[in-house]
Amino acid sequence: MSRSQKIVRNLVIFLGLCLLFITQTALYLTPLSAHEHSERSLLYGPSEVVHVEDFDEGKYILAKYDRWYSCNSVERTLGLFWRSGGGSIGTENDKTKAVAFSWSASYEHCVAYGIINDDRVKRIELTLSNGQVLTQTKFYDRMFLILWTDKNNNNYFEKLIGYDASDKVIFESELP
Amino acid sequence: MLSPKGDKYIENILSYVKFSFDRYAIKTELESHLLDKIEDYTKAGQGEDAEQLAITDMGDAEEIGLELNKQHHPLVGWLWMITRLAVVLLVIVDLFFVGLPIGMSLFDNNPLKDIAKANIVYNIAVNKTVQLDDRVINFRNVVYERNGNLNIIYDYYEARFWGARWSLGSIGIISDNLGNKYFAGSGGGGGGIRPICRRTVENFSNEADTVIIDYDQYNRKYRVEIPLKGGAKNE
């Protein structure tokens, strides 16, 4: 076998090994395929993606599936690929509440998300334990997503309030 | 062993070969070739002239060197070295990230072995399989213990070759044909490609003749009914 043939053989083996690594370690070329495969492995979905938002390590994917809502995360890895982050599945939308929501934290990255069941709610206000207030008025198909970081472990979820257009409190909850 | 003249001749040839990693192999081959020729001439009675004749036979050092440099082109040489190294590194990476989980699965402990034989009232081989999306769950055994624990031994794997493999959270709600539902107990199992797991429920009725496993989550459903009285007693 000539050296050129050996190079071709090595390249074929290399590509095969790359493929094995990529497929078996669940790496994907797009964030949405990482999200979709993650959901399928978790026996959930396929959900309808409502909004995708960047954070420094990847993306949060806000989605709905039947009577559940979810916020999955996908992370960039090895420069080129995407992989599933937290493996989040859905929370059932409690339609008796004006706002159904959940929150989660992974290391310093925190996220509160939910779905608005009462159309009067025009503004969501999230209060953190250090007094910081985060507000969202732009919703995505009646869903909201609020991100924050908690580097010192003292900045966690405290209260969520939903206001109507005249700043009247429609919904208030300290716990999801 | 070559004389300084022979060594110089070979070094001269090698000076044209730019891919230094091949020089040692070429040198060994040229030396062997030259020594063979010297031996032939010596046997033919050429004595002192044998080495010079052998060198003359071999040809012009520059011509040979340039030809060898073509055959051992540095670019091709480096590509060969780099691709070979890449393959070796990736084999190591794949062994760690792919081979190890497969190996762990092969040597995964069967939780059935953790149940003391003396405590077993009956052990039923089930072999019922269900599939949710790409997840195949195989119910292997149901073991009833003297203390009332009912153990369901199962394994699972992803039928799809590619992609995420999250652990199976729950096999469903356990009940019996008498209408009792069982929530207290424990569950667990190994990791890897095809983990074998054990779900134990406590105080399972010894009057029941069927255990029912109902899965109903996120629009996925299955129901497995396992008859209990077919088991061999006191295995």
**Closest-CA residue to B111 (of B190, B203, B204):** B190
Q: How far is CA B94 from CA A15, A18, A76, B87, B187, in A?
A: 12, 8, 20, 10, 31
**Least-confidence region, from A160-169, B52-61, B100-109:** B100-109
Residues A43-64 pLDDT 10s? 998 999 999 999 988 999 999 9
Interface test with A, best of B70, B162, B167 (most A CBs within 10 A): B162
Does the distance separating the beta carbons of B79 and A43 come in below 8 Å? no
Nearest-neighbour CA in chain A from B88: distance (Å): 9
CATH architecture of the domain B111-233 equals Sandwich (2.60)
d(Cα B222, Cα B215) in Å, to the nearest integer?
5
Are the Cβ atoms of A6 and B133 closer than 8 angstroms? no
The residue among A28, A57, A52, A50 whose CA lies nearest residue A40 is A28
pLDDT band at A106 (very low <50, low <70, confident <90, very high): confident
Closest CB to A21: pick one of B79, B98, B163: B98
Rounded CA separation B229/B235 (Å): 14
Is B98 in contact with A38 (Cβ distance < 8 A)? no
- The count of CB pairs under 8 A between chains A and B is 88
In chain B, what residues touch A21 (CB-CB under 8 Å)? 90, 93-94, 97-98
* Contact between residue B136 and residue B129 where contact means Cβ atoms under 8 Å apart: yes
Q: How far is A139 from chain B (nearest CA, A)?
A: 25
Query: Hey, is the C-beta of B233 within 8 angstroms of any chain A C-beta?
Result: no
Q: Cα dist. A56→A34, A74, A105, A111, B183 in Å? A: 17, 11, 14, 13, 41
What are the tens digits of pLDDT across the range B190-216?
667 888 999 999 999 989 999 999 999
Which residue's entry shows tokens 């105080």? B203
Direct distance between the N- and C-terminal alpha carbons of chain B, in angstroms, rounded to an integer: 77
Token readout for A72 is 């999955």
Query: Do residues B215 and B171 touch, judged by C-beta distance below 8 A?
Result: yes
Q: Is B203 within 8 Å of B182 (Cβ atoms)?
A: yes
Instruction: Write out pLDDT tens, residues B164-197.
Output: 888 888 999 999 999 999 988 887 766 678 889 9
**CA pair distance A103, A105, nearest whole angstrom:** 7
Spatial distance between the Cα atoms of B157 and B165, rounded to a whole number of angstroms: 8
Chain B CB within 8 Å of residue A85 CB: no
Whole-number Å distance between alpha carbons of A148 and A129: 12
How high is the pLDDT of residue B150?
95
Shortest distance between the Cα of B226 and any Cα of chain A, in A, equals 23
In chain B, residues with a C-beta closer than 8 Å to the C-beta of A16 are none
Direct distance between the N- and C-terminal alpha carbons of chain A, in angstroms, rounded to an integer: 67
**Alpha-carbon span B144 to B231, nearest angstrom:** 9
- The DSSP annotation for A67-131 comes to TEEEEEEEEEETTTEEEESS----EE--TTSSEEEEEEEETTEEEEEEEE-STT--EEEEEETTS
Helix-helix angle B4-14:B61-71, to 10 degrees = 40
pLDDT score, position B235 = 44
Work out the mean pLDDT of chain B and round it to a whole number. 90
Q: How is chain B split into domains, by residue range? A: 4-105, 111-233
DSSP secondary structure code for residue B144 in this structure: E
Residues B132-154: tens digit of each pLDDT: 999 999 999 999 999 999 999 99
Q: Which of A7, A43, A89 lies nearest to residue B133, judging by beta carbons?
A: A43
- Partner residue facing A23 (CB), from B163, B217, B218: B163
Among A35-44, B87-96, B98-107, the range scoring the smallest mean pLDDT is: B98-107
